[in-house]
Structure 1
């Protein structure tokens, strides 16, 4: 499967595992990756926000890209997140290319003084460093305006945009303003996928794939088939999981995924500050109830 066709599927944002001493423990991802790929995951994504990208050192992010490419072993195209300072992003891009990544997901720079034309130059330098790997823009702030988004999409090497803002009408405007070859991926996971699909997005990102890839794939199949009612019903079943992740200003986003993995017998360690850890007693009880209701607890998975 080519990267372009895979982008219209599910981009699964992998967690970054840590051991008890707060060191990387990437091999803990192997069963998670294997289950997701068996279920049909189209693109494993390393160093995304569910992977705690901003909590990693550049050395750690490089190591994770290398390890994930090794564990995927050619079964699907790997997208590697790059970002931070332009020199850090270029270093990560070059490393990801050597590791065997199929493309780069470029985090929108969080610099308080970022300019749209400055990001154009940023993208060009990342593209050069990445040995020509295709670029996927990770757009979390659409306030830069449609014209600026079109300028970014016109940078050579950009093939798509991960649209991570809850503004379907702005997405529709951006799609109209850009080259029709650009792939627009719903970047707000399953919950927002129907609304973004309705205006032209294809595929979506998912943190759920770490714990329940089969459900993500079922939602994708429903949307691709135009069955919005089924997609909404499938999404409604996972509402408690996403509600927990959205608490504390989204500070429990990754916490919820890692807590669920631990309850399922696939402990990938805690999150790093500034994310919340652990879940509060109320959040943990709600997560336990959700996992039990879906037969996802460790004992239930074993017995099933």
Structure 2
């Protein structure tokens, strides 16, 4: 690892894209979302990624979101953007990110088409080398990297991290053993807290946290319990908060994003329970179930900041 490159570690915050009643990006709500994450000790901000409905925001909105994140963070924590889609669009987003002075970007896997393994490597490589910013490669859905693929990518100085959203633990063992601490290993599974104990055993000490958008104190307490081998605390939080929310998340496709916004609305943040198609808002019955779990999260686990 290039010692001059600072890699994001710990709990990574992924703000949403708040929309108002006219389906316009709500910049004030986004500012509060980012500020809230920073106030509660989240180590990095990843703007315009999956939780930010990358698939549904315009280029103008994307640029505005970067500006809002810069204004809200005031260089207190690193900012990473999501880049992806077709190769020319992804490179343009990477170049814009560099122009805006962020720290790096998460390269989202291409969609609609399934390339070859070498094609995936070339996709990640071209984007990573288009700027001098840090680049994190993200395997998910139709992109599954091999040891040979990763060997090629780690020759690029800009590639500093690997985010897994597939959950193939045997493959993760192969990759971490092959590459070691050359990369920061990031658990990027939907609601990563569920699988974090297993990932930590493999060297994944960093994860993206969806619930940090509305109950960051729980995410922090759970992470600390893993770091300090407090099995009882981890088991309690699993039972009371993490697994119940995960059970709700699995009730509908798209809830990985929609449930975040519902949770934020429940705790009083200025974010409405609205998402853009093809996603749909959280249904009333599931909304009430989430509200009950959040009440437990505050009643049983005192609000703490880092």
Fold match by TM threshold 0.5 = yes
In the TM superposition, what are the counterparts of 1:274-289 in structure 2 within 5 Å? 274-277=278-281, 279-289=282-292
When residues 4 and 35 of structure 1 are mapped into structure 2, their CA distance, relative to the original with a 3 A threshold, is: farther
CA drift of 1:38 comes to: 2.1
In the TM superposition, what are the counterparts of 1:21-170 in structure 2 within 5 Å? 21-129=22-130, 131-141=131-141, 143-170=144-171
CA drift of 1:82 comes to: 0.5
| Count of matched residue positions in the alignment of Structure 1 and Structure 2 | 293
When residues 25 and 76 of structure 1 are mapped into structure 2, their CA distance, relative to the original with a 3 A threshold, is: same
CA drift of 1:36 comes to: 2.0
| Distance in 2, Cα, partners of 1:182 & 1:47 | 23
Q: Report if aligned partners of 1:65, 1:80 keep a CA contact under 8 Å in 2.
A: yes
Query: Counterpart in 1 of 2:248?
Result: 244
In the TM superposition, what are the counterparts of 1:9-28 in structure 2 within 5 Å? 9-28=10-29
In the TM superposition, what are the counterparts of 1:155-304 in structure 2 within 5 Å? 155-178=156-179, 180-188=181-189, 189-238=192-241, 239-249=243-253, 251-269=254-272, 270-277=274-281, 279-295=282-298
CA drift of 1:143 comes to: 4.0
Give SS of 2:295's match. Answer: helix
| Distance in 2, Cα, partners of 1:137 & 1:258 | 26
> Which digits, 9 at most, give the CA deviation of each residue in 1:246-285, with x for residues without a partner?
2223x112111111212222232311111122x2232122
Give SS of 1:247's match. Answer: coil
Give SS of 2:85's match. Answer: coil
Q: Report if aligned partners of 2:135, 2:161 keep a CA contact under 8 Å in 1.
A: yes
Give SS of 1:23's match. Answer: coil
When residues 53 and 43 of structure 1 are mapped into structure 2, their CA distance, relative to the original with a 3 A threshold, is: same
CA drift of 1:22 comes to: 0.8
- In terms of fraction of residues, the more helix-rich structure is 1
Q: Report if aligned partners of 1:3, 1:77 keep a CA contact under 8 Å in 2.
A: no
Q: Report if aligned partners of 2:15, 2:45 keep a CA contact under 8 Å in 1.
A: yes
Q: CA RMSD in A?
A: 2.2
Gaps of 5+ in 2: none
CA drift of 1:5 comes to: 6.0
Give SS of 1:248's match. Answer: coil
When residues 220 and 164 of structure 1 are mapped into structure 2, their CA distance, relative to the original with a 3 A threshold, is: same
| Distance in 1, Cα, partners of 2:4 & 2:276 | 31
Which segment is superposed worse, 106-115 or 219-228? Answer: 219-228
When residues 3 and 232 of structure 1 are mapped into structure 2, their CA distance, relative to the original with a 3 A threshold, is: farther
TM-score, L = length of structure 1: 0.88
> Which digits, 9 at most, give the CA deviation of each residue in 1:188-223, with x for residues without a partner?
221111111112211111111110111112222222
TM-score, L = length of structure 2: 0.88
Which segment is superposed worse, 47-56 or 232-241? Answer: 232-241
